[in-house]
C-alpha cells in the first residue's frame, strides 16, 4: 500500500518487524553504512560526519557503543517493555564477564580458567547471567516500582563484594585480571581459526584488529536487535507489555505475572551477560570495581535519553551516551586551541576554557586537574546528568521522540498535520 | 570504585577499635560496640529520615541524597573554615562558633534543596514516579562530580570541637562524637515529630495520604514538596557531619560521603519507605548489625572477605523483603485494577 503507511491489510503485515518500505530502506542503508564504516572507502567518505567514527581510535569507542547497545537492549526489555526498573544491570554484566573468564580465560598461578573456545564461553556467559537472574527473581518479582530499584542497587554492591571475595576469578581488587581474547577456536588448538584481535587478511582485504572486533560485535548486535524486535511482537512480548501497563489487570486477563517477570529477568540478564563478556574481552583487563552503580545508572540514562521501550531509541541512546565523553574531550581541546592568541575570538573562548596555571574558565584542558575549573572528564559526567534531566523534563520520549516529531513533520509536509 | 573511595575515606570500619584491644572485659567491649553501632546507625537514620520525608511528600526516592550530603559537608567546611561566617562576629567559645556554623550551612543546604525542587522536581508533578527517580539520579551525577572536585583539592576539615576525646563508663570507652550523633538523631526525629503536629505538618501528612484530595482541600502541594526537599537536604548535611566524625572523631570531609545514601537504603527498606519510626528503627538496626558483624565476625574475614560488614545491611534487607515486601513499618500498597 504505497503512500498509506498506517493501512494494514493483514495481521502478518501489521506485526512484521519493519512494516513500511521506508523503514526497510532505512534499515538496509544503516546496516550498509555500519558495515562499511571502518573502511576507507570513497562511498563512506562522501557522507559527512560519519566516517570519523570508524577511523583511528574512534573505532574503539564505536565498538564499545555497539557492545553496550546489546546490554541496553536487554535492559530495555526489562525496564522499557516489562516495566521493571532495575538498577542492577551492571551486576549482570559483571556476572557474564566473570563467567566467561572462568570458562575461557587462561589459568595462572593465582587465577582460574579453562581456556575453552569462544563458542562455549560466549553463550556460557549469557546463560550463567540468566540463571543468576532467575535465582534472584523470587525476591525481585514480589517487589514493585521503587522498592525493586532500591533492591537492585543492593545487588550491585553485593556483586562487587563477591567478586573481591574470589580473586581467583576476578583478579586482585582494583587491578583485575586479563580476560580472554576474541578468538574463534574449534577446540583448544594453538592457532585460532579466526582471530578478531590482530591484524590480518580477510578475503581480499587487509583488515586491522580493531576493525575485525567492530565487525564481529556488529554482527552480534544485529542478531540481538532481531531477537529483541521479534520478542516484543510475540506472545511473550505482549504479556510483558500487559504487565507493564497494569500488572493486576494483566493477571486478571490470564497472564501469569510471576512466569513472565521471571522470563523478562532471565532474557535481560542473558543480554547483559553476553555484553559483559564481550566488553571484558574487548577491553582486556578490568578491575572488579568497574561493574558499579555508575555503570547501571549509565544504562538507565541510555534508555531515557534514547527513548524507553523502543529498540531504535535504545540504539540512538547508546551511541549518544557512549560517544558523549569523547566529544566533550575533543570540544575542550578545540576550545583550548581557539583560545590561543590575543584576538577577540580567542578571548571569547578563553572565558570558557582554562589552559592551565591561573587561567580561569568553566572547563580545564588538563585531565587530572582537581578543583575548579572542572577537568573535562568531570565536565562530561556533569553534562550527562544535565542531559538526563533535560530530556526527562522536555522530551520524555528521548531521541526517539525527536525522531518521531521530525518524521511526522515530513509525513504531512507541506501541511502542518 | 566507590568501595575504593571508602577505603581512602577511612569509612571502612577497622576491625578492632583502639580501645577494644586494651584488655577490657567482654561486656565493656560489647557496650562500646553497641554505642558505636548506634552512632553509625544514627547516620543511616538521619539519611533515611530525609528519604522518608521526600517519599511521603512526592512518592519518589531521592537518589541524590548522598551527593547532597557531600555538598553539605563541603558547605560546612566552607562556612566554618574558609568564611568563618558566624564565627568572626561571635568569637570566643568554639562550641558556639561550631554549632552556629552548622546551622548556617544547614540553612544554605536547605535553600539548595528548595532550588533543586523548584527547578527539576516541580515541573515533573504528574509524570511517572520512575522518571522523577531517574531525574534524581541525574542530579546525583552532577552533584557528585562537583562535590568530588570540591573536596579533592585539599583535605577539608570540619574542626570538630571535641575531636577524638571521650569518656569511660565502667570499662567501656565512649567517644563524644557518638554522643553527638545520637543527640543529632534525637533532635531531628523530635523535630519531625513536632513538625507533624503543626499546620504545615498536617498538610504534609494529608499530601502523603492523597495528593489530589489534599489539593482539593486547598493545600498548597508545591509548598509541601519544597519543605520536604529543604528539610531532607538539611538532614543530609547533618548526616554528613556525623559521618565525618564517626567512628573515631576524625572530622575530615571525604568523597566517600556520597555512598552514605546508598548504604542507608537498606535502612529505609527495612523500616518501610513511608514510615518515620521505621527510618529510626531501621537505621539504628542496620548500623548495629554492621558494627556488631564487623566486630564479632572479624575473625572470619578471610572467608567472608574484607569489608563484609558493609554488605551485611544488604543481606538483612534482602531477608526482610522476602518476608515483608513493604518493610517492617511500611504501608502495603493497595492494588486495584
| Contacting B residues, span 81-120, partner chain A, CB-CB under 8 Å | 120
- Among chain A residues, the shortest Cα distance to B269 is held by A147
Model confidence at B13, in pLDDT bands (50, 70, 90)?
very low
Work out the pLDDT band at B337, boundaries 50, 70, 90: low
Minimal CA separation from B169 to chain A, in Å: 36
Q: Which of A25-39, A66-80, B195-209, B292-306 has the lowest mean pLDDT?
A: B292-306
The confidence score (pLDDT) of residue B16 equals 44
CB contact under 8 A, B145 and A381: yes
Residue B12 touches chain A, beta carbons under 8 Å:
no
Instruction: Give the pLDDT confidence score for residue A417 in this predicted structure.
Output: 62
Could you tell me whether strands A205-207 and A200-202 are parallel, antiparallel, or unpaired per DSSP bridges? Answer: antiparallel
pLDDT of residue B1: 38
Lowest pLDDT segment from A244-248, A259-263, B281-285: A244-248
State yes or no: pLDDT of B156 exceeds 80: no
User: Which pLDDT belongs to residue B2?
Assistant: 41
**Contact present, A63 and A237 (Cβ < 8 Å):** no
Q: Give me the percent of chain A exceeding a pLDDT of 70.
A: 94
Contact B240, B260 (CB under 8 A): yes
Per-residue pLDDT at A23 exceeds 80? yes
ipTM of the complex model: 0.84
In this predicted model, which residue has the larger pLDDT, A172 or A96? A96
3-state helix/strand/coil string of B31-60: HHHHHHHHHHHHHHHHHHHHHHHHHHHHCC
Residue of A119, A83, A134 lying closest to A242 (CA atoms): A83
- pTM for this predicted structure: 0.89
For residue A363, the model assigns a pLDDT of 72
- What is the number of domains present in chain B? 1
In a 10 Å sphere around its CB, with 0-12 CB exposed, 13-18 middle and 19+ buried, how is residue A393 labelled? middle
pLDDT of residue B329: 85
Region A338-367: what's the mean pLDDT? Answer: 73
- Nearby residues of A365 by Cβ (< 8 Å), 6 or more positions away: A332, A333, A335, A336, A353, A354, A355, A356, A376
Confidence of residue A172 (pLDDT cuts 50, 70, 90): confident
User: Between chains, do B138 and A160 touch, taking CB under 8 Å as contact?
Assistant: no
Chain B residues within an 8 Å CB radius of A149: 61, 130, 133
For residue B330, the model assigns a pLDDT of 81
B310 contact A CB<8A: yes
Q: Convert the pLDDT of each residue in A254-277 to its tens digit.
A: 999 999 999 999 999 999 999 999
Fill in the DSSP letter of residue B333.
Answer: P
The whole-number pLDDT of residue B88 equals 74
Tell me if B129 and A145 make a contact (CB, 8 A cut-off).
Answer: yes
CB-nearest to A85 from B130, B152, B265 is B130
Instruction: Give the residue from B8, B122, B130, B273 with the most A CB atoms within 10 Å of its CB, the best one to mutate.
Output: B130
User: Per-residue pLDDT averaged across B179-205, rounded?
Assistant: 92
Residue B93 covered by a domain = yes
Least confident of A316-325, A366-375, B30-39: A366-375
Min mean pLDDT across A173-187, B98-112, B246-260 is at B246-260
pLDDT band at A369 (very low <50, low <70, confident <90, very high): low
Q: Give the residue-averaged pLDDT of A310-316.
A: 93
Lowest pLDDT segment from A324-328, A377-381, B97-101, B237-241: A377-381
At residue A90, does pLDDT exceed 90? yes
pLDDT score, position B334: 73
Size of interface A-B (CB pairs under 8 A): 152
Q: Which of A118-132, A192-206, A239-253, B262-276 has the lowest mean pLDDT?
A: A192-206
Q: Note the pLDDT of residue A358.
A: 62
Which position has the higher pLDDT, A339 or B203?
A: B203
Residue-level pLDDT at B315: 85
The CATH code of the domain that includes B127 is 1.10.3470
Inter-residue contact A304 to A76 (CB < 8 Å): no
Q: B39 touching A, CB under 8 A? A: no
pLDDT of B52 higher than 80: yes
- Predicted confidence at residue B14, as pLDDT, reads 41
- State the virtual CA torsion across A121, A123, A127, A128 in degrees, nearest 10: 20
Give yes or no for a contact between A198 and A305, defined as CB atoms under 8 angstroms apart: no
Quickly state the pLDDT bin for B301 (edges 50, 70, 90).
confident
- Taking CB atoms and an 8 Å limit, are A252 and B336 in contact across chains? no
A250: contact with B, CB 8 A cutoff? no
Residue B21 lies in a domain: no
pLDDT exceeds 90 at position A176:
no
Beta carbons of B315 and A158 less than 8 Å apart: yes
Which residue bears the cell 575531636? B163
Q: Report the chain A residue with the minimal C-alpha distance to residue B313.
A: A154
Please report which confidence band the pLDDT of residue B189 belongs to, taking 50, 70 and 90 as the band edges. very high
Facing A382 at nearest CB: one of B60, B142, B273: B142
The partner residue sitting opposite A292, judged by closest CB among B2, B146, B337, is B2
Q: What part of B 130-159 touches A (C-beta under 8 Å)? A: 130-131, 133-135, 137-142, 144-146, 148-150, 152-153
Q: What percent of chain A has pLDDT over 90?
A: 35
User: Å from A270 to nearest chain B CA?
Assistant: 23
**Distance separating alpha carbons of residues B232 and B224, to the nearest angstrom:** 12
Tell me, yes or no, if A135 comes closer than 8 A to chain B by beta carbon.
Answer: no
- At A344, list the grid cell: 577577540
B221: containing domain: 2-16+27-323
Judged against a pLDDT cut of 50, whether residue B256 lies above it is answered with yes
Cell numbers 522470563 correspond to A263
- φ/ψ of B172, rounded to 5, equals -85, 135
A295 band by pLDDT with thresholds 50, 70 and 90: very high
Q: Which residues pair with A364 in a beta bridge?
A: A354, A375
Is B224 part of a structural domain of the chain?
yes
Is A385 an interface residue toward B (CB < 8 Å)? yes
Q: What is the pLDDT of residue A29?
A: 92
CA distance B167 to chain A (A): 36
Considering only A239-253, A352-366, B198-212, which range has the smallest mean pLDDT?
A352-366
Q: Is the pLDDT of residue B15 over 50?
A: no
List, as one string, the DSSP characters of A367-398. SS--SSSEEHHHHHHHHHHHHHHHHHHH-TTH
DSSP A81-107: IS----S-HHHHHHHHHHHHHHHHSPP
Lowest mean pLDDT among A237-241, A334-338, B234-238: A334-338
Asked if pLDDT for residue B10 goes beyond 50, the answer is no
Decide if B188 is inside a domain.
Answer: yes
Check residue A370 and give its pLDDT.
59
Residue contact A388–B138, C-beta within 8 A? yes
Amino acid at each position: 500500500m504505497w503512500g498509506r503507511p498506517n493501512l494494514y491489510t493483514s495481521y502478518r503485515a501489521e506485526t512484521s518487524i519493519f512494516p513500511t518500505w521506508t523503514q526497510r530502506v532505512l534499515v538496509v542503508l544503516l546496516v550498509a553504512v555500519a558495515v562499511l564504516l571502518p573502511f576507507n572507502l570513497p562511498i563512506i567518505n562522501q557522507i559527512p560526519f560519519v566516517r570519523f567514527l570508524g577511523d583511528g581510535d574512534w573505532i574503539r569507542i564505536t565498538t564499545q557503543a555497539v557492545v553496550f547497545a546489546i546490554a541496553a537492549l536487554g535492559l530495555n526489555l526489562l525496564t522499557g517493555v516489562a516495566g521493571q526498573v532495575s538498577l542492577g544491570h551492571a551486576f549482570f554484566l559483571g556476572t557474564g564477564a566473570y563467567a566467561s573468564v572462568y570458562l575461557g580465560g587462561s589459568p595462572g598461578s593465582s587465577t582460574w580458567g579453562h581456556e575453552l573456545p569462544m563458542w562455549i564461553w560466549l553463550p556460557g556467559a549469557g546463560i550463567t547471567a540468566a540463571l543468576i537472574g532467575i535465582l534472584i527473581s523470587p525476591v525481585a518479582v514480589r517487589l514493585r516500582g521503587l522498592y525493586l530499584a532500591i533492591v537492585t542497587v543492593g545487588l550491585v554492591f553485593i556483586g562487587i563484594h563477591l567478586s573481591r571475595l574470589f580473586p581467583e576469578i576476578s583478579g586482585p581488587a582494583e587491578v583485575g585480571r586479563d580476560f580472554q581474547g576474541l578468538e574463534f577456536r574449534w577446540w583448544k588448538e594453538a592457532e585460532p581459526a579466526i582471530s578478531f584481535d590482530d591484524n590480518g587478511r580477510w578475503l581480499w582485504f587487509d583488515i586491522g584488529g580493531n576493525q575485525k572486533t567492530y565487525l564481529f560485535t556488529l554482527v552480534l548486535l544485529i542478531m540481538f536487535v532481531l531477537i529483541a524486535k521479534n520478542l516484543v511482537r510475540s506472545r511473550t512480548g505482549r504479556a510483558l507489555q500487559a504487565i507493564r501497563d497494569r500488572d493486576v489487570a494483566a493477571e486478571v486477563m490470564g497472564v501469569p505475572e510471576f512466569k513472565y517477570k521471571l522470563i523478562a529477568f532471565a532474557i535481560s540478564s542473558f543480554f547483559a551477560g553476553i555484553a559483559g563478556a564481550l566488553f571484558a574481552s574487548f577491553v582486556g583487563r578490568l578491575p572488579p570495581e568497574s561493574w558499579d552503580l555508575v555503570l547501571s545508572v549509565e544504562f538507565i540514562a541510555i534508555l531515557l535519553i534514547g527513548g524507553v521501550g523502543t529498540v531504535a531509541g535504545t540504539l540512538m541512546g547508546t551511541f549518544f551516551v557512549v560517544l558523549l565523553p569523547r566529544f566533550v574531550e575533543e570540544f575542550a581541546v578545540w576550545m583550548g586551541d581557539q583560545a590561543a592568541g590575543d584576538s577577540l575570538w580567542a578571548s571569547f573562548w578563553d572565558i570558557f576554557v582554562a589552559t592551565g596555571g591561573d587561567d580561569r574558565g568553566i572547563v580545564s584542558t588538563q585531565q587530572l586537574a582537581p578543583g575548579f575549573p572542572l577537568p573535562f572528564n568531570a565536565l562530561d559526567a556533569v553534562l550527562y546528568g544535565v542531559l538526563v534531566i533535560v530530556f526527562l523534563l522536555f522530551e520524555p520520549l528521548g531521541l526517539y521522540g525527536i525522531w518521531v516529531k521530525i518524521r511526522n513533520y515530513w509525513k504531512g509536509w507541506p501541511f502542518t498535520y | 570504585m566507590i568501595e575504593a573511595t571508602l577505603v581512602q575515606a577511612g569509612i571502612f570500619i577497622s576491625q578492632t577499635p583502639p580501645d577494644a584491644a586494651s584488655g577490657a572485659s567482654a561486656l565493656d567491649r560489647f557496650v562500646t560496640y553497641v554505642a558505636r553501632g548506634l552512632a553509625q546507625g544514627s547516620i543511616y537514620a538521619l539519611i533515611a529520615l530525609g528519604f522518608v520525608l521526600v517519599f511521603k511528600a512526592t512518592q519518589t526516592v531521592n537518589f541524590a541524597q548522598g551527593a547532597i550530603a557531600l555538598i553539605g559537608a563541603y558547605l560546612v567546611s566552607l562556612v566554618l573554615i574558609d568564611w568563618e561566617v558566624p564565627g568572626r562576629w561571635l568569637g570566643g567559645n568554639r562550641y558556639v562558633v561550631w554549632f552556629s556554623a552548622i546551622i548556617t550551612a544547614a540553612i544554605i543546604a536547605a535553600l539548595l534543596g528548595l532550588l533543586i525542587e523548584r527547578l527539576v522536581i516541580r515541573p515533573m508533578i504528574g509524570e511517572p514516579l520512575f522518571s522523577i527517580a531517574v531525574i534524581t539520579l541525574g542530579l546525583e551525577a552532577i552533584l557528585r562530580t562537583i562535590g568530588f572536585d570540591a573536596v579533592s583539592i585539599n583535605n577539608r576539615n570540619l574542626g570538630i570541637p571535641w575531636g577524638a576525646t571521650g569518656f569511660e563508663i565502667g570499662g567501656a570507652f565512649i567517644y563524644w562524637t557518638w554522643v553527638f550523633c545520637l543527640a543529632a538523631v534525637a533532635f531531628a526525629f523530635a523535630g519531625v515529630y513536632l513538625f507533624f503536629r503543626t499546620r504545615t505538618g498536617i498538610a504534609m501528612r494529608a499530601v502523603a495520604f492523597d495528593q489530589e484530595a489534599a489539593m482539593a482541600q486547598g493545600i498548597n502541594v508545591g509548598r509541601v514538596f519544597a519543605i520536604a526537599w529543604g528539610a531532607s537536604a538539611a538532614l543530609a548535611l547533618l548526616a554528613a557531619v556525623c559521618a565525618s566524625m564517626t567512628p573515631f572523631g576524625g572530622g575530615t570531609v571525604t568523597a566517600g560521603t556520597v555512598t552514605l545514601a546508598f548504604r542507608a537504603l537498606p535502612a529505609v527498606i527495612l523500616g518501610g519507605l513511608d514510615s518515620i519510626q521505621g527510618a529510626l528503627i531501621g537505621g539504628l538496626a542496620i548500623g548495629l548489625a554492621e558494627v556488631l558483624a564487623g566486630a564479632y565476625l572479624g575473625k572470619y574475614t578471610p572467608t567472608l572477605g574484607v569489608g563484609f560488614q558493609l554488605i551485611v545491611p544488604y543481606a538483612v534487607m534482602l531477608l526482610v523483603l522476602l518476608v515483608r515486601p513493604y518493610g517492617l513499618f511500611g504501608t502495603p500498597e493497595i492494588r486495584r485494577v
